[in-house]
Structure 1
């Protein structure tokens, strides 16, 4: 039995220089929706495309990039990557693939926070067997 009973939600918190700019970026690039800006707390939250998962943006004068790496599932990593790259999003190297398992690609938001796309290849591998 776990020590804590968790709910079916998670917030991925990141440090950013300007929550409003970051919120606009996440909305435009990944389709997230703003839940709220809490200016007095220096905090903003965004609804991601995954039920129960939100992205929290904590405003810091000197953010600590790379403090978490959220991984977002996509059905076609090549198409998703091309769309982001064509809009100026910076990626870290080539897409990496572990055959029959997963393809991943790391990219960065405007504050240098690392994020990752992942395409699950295990379903295709199972269907081929």
Structure 2
């Protein structure tokens, strides 16, 4: 039995210099669908052709090449984080909250690879 149970969604979070341009590129080159641009949060998402998998673009002035963080959906991030911390999993700082949108926490596997948990806080989900 696993320590926590993630849902059946995954977001691949990538750093980009221009979220709008990146979304257009993925739409025209790969046929993915724009879900939304959250300009106030500096975040955009596109739906891939794989059920339950989206790509999220975080805008940064100097993104790290090859930077991609798998983000796993979770119903109760606080409870999951507590269980992982009790198992000595290392987190990167505090949990981030964008009110009415999402709660996220970055953590690391034994080799230092970044992973993230995300709890949906939109209407009816948080």
How many residue pairs match? The answer is 70
Structure 1 gaps of 5+ residues are: 71-129
Judged with a 3 Å threshold, the aligned counterparts in structure 2 of structure 1 residues 52 and 42 are, in CA distance, closer, same or farther, namely: same
Q: Deviations over 1:24-81 (max 9, x none)?
A: 00000000100000001100000000000000000001111101399xxxxxxxxxxx
1:18-97 → structure 2 map (5 Å cutoff): 18-68=18-68
Contact 2:33 2:48 in 1 (8 A): yes
Alignment TM-score, normalising by the size of structure 1: 0.52
Contact 2:14 2:69 in 1 (8 A): no
- Distance in 1 separating the partners of 2:37 and 2:69: 22
- Distance in 2 separating the partners of 1:20 and 1:9: 23
Larger radius of gyration: 1
Offset at 1:3? 1.4
- Distance in 1 separating the partners of 2:67 and 2:42: 17
Alignment TM-score, normalising by the size of structure 2: 0.53
Structure 2 gaps of 5+ residues are: 71-126
Tell whether 2:17 aligns with 1:11: no
- Distance in 2 separating the partners of 1:69 and 1:30: 20
